[in-house]
Amino acid sequence: MAALIENYGFIGDLHGSALVSRDGSIDWLCLPRFDSDACMSALLGRDEHGCWTMFPRVPVRKVDRRYRPGTLILETDYECEGGKIRLIDFMPFGPKHGSVFRIVEGLEGSVPVFTTVRARFGYGGYRPWITKEGATIRMTTAPNSLALHTPAPVQFDQDELDVWGLFTVKKGERMPFELAYNPAHNATAAPALDPDATLAETERNWKEWSGRSKYKGPYADVVNRSLITLKGMIYAPSGGIVAAPTAGLPEEIGGERNWDYRYCWLRDATLTLDGLMLGGYVDEAKAWRRWLMNAVAGAPDELQIMYGIDGERRLTEFEVPWLPGYEESRPVRIGNAASEQFQLDVYGEVIQALYEARRLGVPEMPGVRPSARKLIEFLETAWQKPDDGIWEVRGGRRHFTHSKMMAWVAIDRMTRIIEEFTPANDPDREILPRMQALRDRIHRNVCEHGFDRKQNAFTQAYNLPALDAGVLLMPALGFLPASDPRVQGTIKAIEKNLVRDGFVLRYKPEHTNDGLAGSEGAFLACSFWLVDAYAYSGRRQEAEALFEKLIGLRNDLGLLSEEYEPTSGRLIGNFPQAFSHLALVHSASVLANAELTPRASTNGHTKPQAPSARP
């Protein structure tokens, strides 16, 4: 049975990933890629759907776990009758990717340990053919195969098709296990890696990377742990960053809103770039921009809201009926049909990310300007169309206020690119008057139709009363300063209607008409946006108090999911969630007066008052 979401740790090798529970079970494993069919899926069902358990055979008195500083190497200590052991879980960071290592280390006394490797390919749908090749056990269901390397006494059951073993670890002893991915057509499994050397190399590589962080301000430990988590979600070959390494974790326990997040969302573009640059990770920022431009290349009217980790466009959604879902939250969906939606906001995200890269000193990519112009030319008329909105609701298209605001961002940032980074004799300057006029037109349109005078607030969609936390971004994007009475009225309306137990809902589900039953928890990124809005408004103490409350929701390993359920006090949604960690990093930079995102508006508004630096 799956553990509480907050009881999982995350490990990865910048290609694939796994979730490890406090009780030593790997309940989610995707190899060789983040988006590969999971070969262990107990997270979304039961043990029979695939897991790898490793736990003392005697009563456990205490469990304590941590990441090694500056790494994604997970250590879990089990204090039990007769002794104490440490379980070290990691995936190699470096060229030797594609394996999961588990090393059991004796700390005190003598402890018997039982392990079961239950591979179930195709999201728990297919049991493997198990063979033994010398000391190696292979578990195969074409096109995939896993090879288990260990000196431990293990055996397999041809009926249950599981691998299991019982061994004892004494103080000072270590028992290593390596589970390596191999294509099934490889006649022989790859040779085992040296566990101690691989562990040392992985730790060295992680510490070298995390040691380069330039963020030294307030909340440095929190920010740098989030940056390490985000690094673990980068697909190294392409530079793309998955929204989460999981699929199907529910936005409401027992509910239907269970989506696959192992893809790259354009909505994360600017926050990702800013977060990486804030940490001084210029190479990762360049790789992300390269992925972004490769993904959006082509016809502007075919721009998607998300892509696969290599830029794949076809993300066909289907249900997995044999999985009962996390705590019976069904259906379990793989793929994501929202990739076929039309969202205006992604045009703003792309152009803003290009502007941000230039403003932060990253040279312009060759050939990027013509692609940007094509996006803008399409947007000149497309901004007037209804769209599906940032939250991908499946209840029909509307004139979403946030979407129109992001169309304004696209035109505004393109105008800035030309004004700030284009020579006086460049032909691009000829379109400046047209861009400036369009920017002002969209701004007036949003203020006229997206603002509800009765509520004194900007709403979710034009001429409709429902509220949406997305409009909290207005001051952050420079659309209006926080001092504007309309922004202040919006903050008050959201506090009154969308704040639940101190946390922010992105909207009220009953206003979406998406045909899905149930509700959802407080959306953590939106709660961080309220932190920013408070800070811009001069409400420093409230901003800090909410930020402290939010970082207090992280689990003992510093990880956040997509949402939080205040009534039960549980993390819910896919985990760990990049959007939540990106918003955390941004809010910390706002409170530290070190944010990188531009705040000045070119519509005649002044830059919002920056929060004072912490003493």
What token pair was written down for 51? 């897991």
- At 94, the pLDDT band (50, 70, 90 cuts) reads confident
Q: Does some domain include residue 608?
A: no
Check pLDDT > 50 for residue 601: no
In a domain, 208, yes or no: no
Type of residue numbered 25: S
Contact 393, 452 (CB under 8 A): no
pLDDT bin (cut points 50, 70, 90) of residue 27 is very high
**Mean of the pLDDT values across residues 460-477?**
96
Residue span of the structural domain in which 572 resides: 213-591
Q: Is residue 313 part of a domain?
A: yes
Kindly state whether residue 353 falls inside one of the protein's structural domains: yes
Mapped to the 3 state alphabet, what secondary structure does 311-333 carry?
CCCCCCCEECCCCCCHHHCCCCE
Number of domains in the chain: 2
| The predicted structure's pLDDT at residue 608 | 39
Residue 157 has pLDDT above 90, yes or no: no
Query: For residue 217, what pLDDT band results from cuts at 50, 70 and 90?
Result: confident
Sheet containing strand 570-572, strands side by side = 522-523, 563-565, 570-572
Last residue of a domain, one of 202, 228, 259: 202
CATH code for position 236? 1.50.10.10
Q: Does residue 483 sit in the same domain as residue 505? A: yes
Last residue of a domain, one of 177, 202, 227: 202
> Has residue 598 been placed in a domain?
no
Q: Is the CB of residue 566 less than 8 Å from the CB of residue 549?
A: no
Residue 255 forms part of a structural domain: yes
pLDDT for the residue 280: 94
Whether residues 169 and 97 share a domain: the answer is yes
Q: How confident is the model at residue 512 (pLDDT cuts 50, 70, 90)?
A: low
Query: What's 74's domain CATH number?
Result: 2.70.98.10
Average confidence score pLDDT of the chain: 93
- What's the pLDDT at 158? 73
Portion of the chain with pLDDT greater than 70, in percent: 95
Are 194 and 240 contained in the same domain? no
Same domain, 124 and 257: no
- CB neighbours of 572 closer than 8 A, spacing ≥ 6? 5, 249, 250, 251, 252, 253, 520, 521, 561, 562, 563, 564, 565
3-state helix, strand, coil in the chain (%, to 5): 35, 25, 40
Residue 607 has pLDDT above 90, yes or no: no
Are residues 54 and 111 located together in one domain of the fold? Answer: yes
Query: Do 198 and 279 have their domain in common?
Result: no
Residue 602 falls inside a structural domain: no
Is the model's pLDDT at 256 over the cut of 60?
A: yes
Determine the pLDDT at residue 291.
95
Same domain, 168 and 253: no
User: Which residues fall within 8 angstroms of residue 117, CB to CB, at 6 or more apart?
Assistant: 52, 139, 148, 154, 162, 163, 164, 179
Q: For the ranges 256-265, 390-399, 468-477, 559-568, which has the lowest average pLDDT?
A: 390-399
172, 202, 232: which is the final residue of a domain? 202
Contact (Cβ atoms closer than 8 angstroms) between residue 384 and residue 322: no
pLDDT in tens, 382-429: 999 999 999 887 778 999 999 999 999 999 999 999 999 998 888 889
Query: Is 284 found in the same domain as 147?
Result: no
d(CA 441, CA 445) in angstroms, rounded, equals 6
Q: pLDDT digits over 191-204, tens only?
A: 999 999 999 999 99
Are 529 and 581 found together in one domain?
yes
pLDDT band at 95 (very low <50, low <70, confident <90, very high): confident
CA dist., res. 76 & res. 64, Å (int): 6
- pLDDT for residue 515: 54
Q: Are 87 and 79 in contact (CB under 8 A)?
A: no
Q: 347 and 261 in one domain?
A: yes
The reply to whether 226 and 340 lie within a common domain is: yes
The pLDDT of residue 510 is 65
Give me the pLDDT at residue 518, please.
58
Distance CA 157, CA 162 (A): 6
For residue 611, is pLDDT > 50?
no
> Is 609 a domain residue?
no
Same domain, 328 and 472: yes
What pTM does this model have? 0.95
User: What residues form DSSP beta bridges with 111?
Assistant: 169
- In a 13 Å sphere around the CA of 372, the CA atoms on its Cβ side amount to 26
pLDDT band, residue 481 (cuts 50/70/90):
very high
Local structure of 33: helix, strand or coil: coil
Closest CA to 101 of 19, 193, 214: 193
What is d(CA 318, CA 330) in angstroms, rounded to the nearest whole number?
12
pLDDT on residue 596: 59
